[in-house]
Amino acid sequence: MKLNPLRFFKSLSARLLLLTLIWVSFIVTTIGYTMMLNWKLESSSAATNIIGDIRFHVFRTALYVLPQYDNRDFDNEVRTVNAGLDLLQKGDQWRPLLVPETQAIRSSLQSIDSEWKESVLPHLTAARGGAREPMMGDVNLYVEKLAALTNDIDEYRAHFLWQLRYLQGLLIVLAIGSLFAIMALLLRWVIRPLEQLGGAIGRLSSGDLTARTEVRSEDEIGEIAAGFNEMAARLKDSHDNLEQKVAEKTASVEEKNSHLAQLYEMTSYFTQRRSLDDLADGFVSRIMRQTEADACTLQLLSGRDDSMQLLTAEGLSVDLVKAVNDLPGDAGIVPSVLSKTYPVCFQLTELEDEFSRRFADAGFKTAYSFQIRSTPGDLGIFTLFFKESPQLTTQVIRLLENFVTHFGVAVASNRLIERDRQFAVVQERQLLAQGLHDSIAQALSFLNLQVQFLSDAIRTNDVALRDESLSAIRTGVQECYEDVRELLLNFRERLHKEGFIEGVRTVIDRFEGQSRMNARLRVSGRGPQLTPRQKLQVIFIIQEALSNVRKHSHAENVDIRIENDADLKVTITDDGVGIDDALVTERKGQHVGLSIMAERASRIGAFVDVERVSPAGGTRVVLILSEEARHEQQ
């Protein structure tokens, strides 16, 4: 991405950054140059100090030539002068000390150093040894040369000192000028635009919606000003159109409330138990009223061959109804609708299949088809037909989708309820058949045998056999009557507000009235209450056990014990002849009474055990409903 320099310098932050960079660069440069001048002044000043020391020690060296002074003092002064000259030659940047690098000063320093080493020092050394008289004129001349070098360095320092003063004056002038320049730029770039923007904000906050600010630049403040103008314009537009927008929002809220009311009405309708035809008719009539459709069809898939069955239709002629009813499941618009998970809109006048052409010839132009779906899968399709192009918004289509979804759930629920009802009827019929087989069928078989004996007795004129057969027939008819009456009472038994123990007492009272046997009920424990389904099945099992006692045991006393703890345990014990365990094992699954008890127990997760009490006789029936099974049935 290329950077546009002009665009960059239009930015206020970029300009301020550049201005700051220039100012800092200038300050750093001037400070650096000033430091360099100060360093040169300090180093040259240190050089003049060293030259002054050399002059002092040259005079002391000439003085120590006299005989009254020690040689060590002379040697120390010579070393000091030599060290000073060497320091002037080499310099010391860290001190700082440096002789100016001009040609004249450097030549003079070189001449002074050579003259000291080649002329002055040898003469003084010779005079110290007595070889010649000290020549003070040469020493004074040499010292004058050192003084001249000092003057040259001072002139050099004076030149840099004037540069430093000029630079300091320039800095003062530039600082004052840059201050005014920066103030002028800030006034132009920042302060005045912000004052204008603040004034516009104040007018806007006071209620002047026409307040605007002039956009004079393309920098950040200009963007803020443009944004303020846009905000003020939108605010004025919102204020001017507030009433219209309130009306639009109110209409939108009313539409949503209407949709919620319609959805609530439809949901309430589906929650009521109705036949499938009533559900379809009510659903179609409500949809037709809400969408103002000209016609509609509701088709469901057949569970056997996946063909489409027309459940209901409105607004169609007899011929069109017949055409929809005869339409195969893989023809017309059906495959296209079932293959998608969203509503499909068809322009009937643009389709070429015979089904669509028949509707187009009847004046229908547009069709909206919705897939009826539930958890098991596809259930069918629902189609609305319009003679004009409808104005169905997205919200309306979503509402219709919800309606169709609720209808699919209602259809699936209706089918499940019908299936459960049929299954319950089949189960009750099986129980009825088992009861009839165990009682009535056996009694009729006995009566048929006695009728044959009676017929033989009449044919052979056997009076004793005849009377015996008549007596047996009379007894069998009475037992058959009692069995039928007991079956009727059993299958008419229903537990409503009657408690479990009260229901058991009712069964025991009826048993004592029919059998003339003594029955005793004992109840213990305070376990949880049984559910209505558990109460019904347990009482039926007790009823069946007592019926078997009455028919087969020849007992005199029956003991019923109910232990309602964590597990429910019901024990029915009689003192009759006792059940034949070997015979029960041999006929396992064929004894209807025992099969009925076992089947009823399995419905609530319980189990039944039948056993002989002792070798002398007696039968015990034990029913156990475990704690886990009791909770699962809650």
DSSP 349: G
Taking only the tens place, the pLDDT of each residue in 184-220 is: 878 887 788 888 888 888 888 887 878 788 777 777 7
pLDDT tier, 306 (very low <50, low <70, confident <90, very high otherwise): low
Range of the domain at 437: 412-483
The answer to whether 19 and 182 have CB atoms below 8 angstroms apart is yes
pLDDT at 431 over 70: no
In this structure, the answer to whether residues 108 and 160 fall within a common structural domain is yes
- The H-assigned helical ranges of 312-461 are 318-326, 334-338, 354-361, 394-436, 442-460
Quick one: pLDDT band at residue 281, thresholds 50, 70, 90? confident
The answer to whether residue 495 scores a pLDDT higher than 50 is no
| 570-584 confidence digits (pLDDT tens) | 999 999 988 877 766
**Of the residues 157, 190, 223, the one at which a domain ends:** 190
pLDDT of 574: 93
Kindly state whether residues 423 and 385 are assigned to the same domain. Answer: no
- Please give the Cα distance from 344 to 332 (Å, whole number): 13
Tell whether 153 and 63 lie within a shared domain.
Answer: yes
Split at pLDDT 50, 70, 90, the class of 561 is: very high
Task: Give the model's pLDDT for residue 506.
Answer: 84
Please indicate, yes or no, if residue 217 is contained in any of the structural domains.
no
Greater pLDDT, 302 or 436: 302
CATH of the domain at 374: 3.30.450.40
Look at residue 1 in the predicted model and tell me its pLDDT: 43
Please check whether residues 477 and 558 belong to one and the same domain: no
Residues 479, 498, single domain; the answer is: no
- In this prediction, residues 56-80 reach a mean pLDDT of 86
- The verdict on 424 and 502 lying in the same domain is no
Under a CB-based contact definition with an 8 Å cutoff, are residues 124 and 105 in contact?
A: no
Considering the domain architecture, whether residues 325 and 279 belong to the same structural domain is answered as: yes
Number of domains in the chain: 4
Looking up tokens 């089949």 gives: 426
List CB contacts of 417: < 8 A, sequence separation 6 or more: 273
Which pLDDT value is given to residue 440? Answer: 64
Contacts with 276 (C-beta within 8 Å, 6 or more apart), sequence order? 311, 411, 414, 415
Digit-coded pLDDT (tens) for 313-325: 888 887 778 777 7
Summarised one tens digit per residue, pLDDT across range 349-364 is: 877 777 778 788 888 8
Residue 100: cis peptide before it, omega within 30 degrees of 0: no
Would the pLDDT of 521 be above 80?
A: yes
565-566-571 Cα angle (round to 5): 50
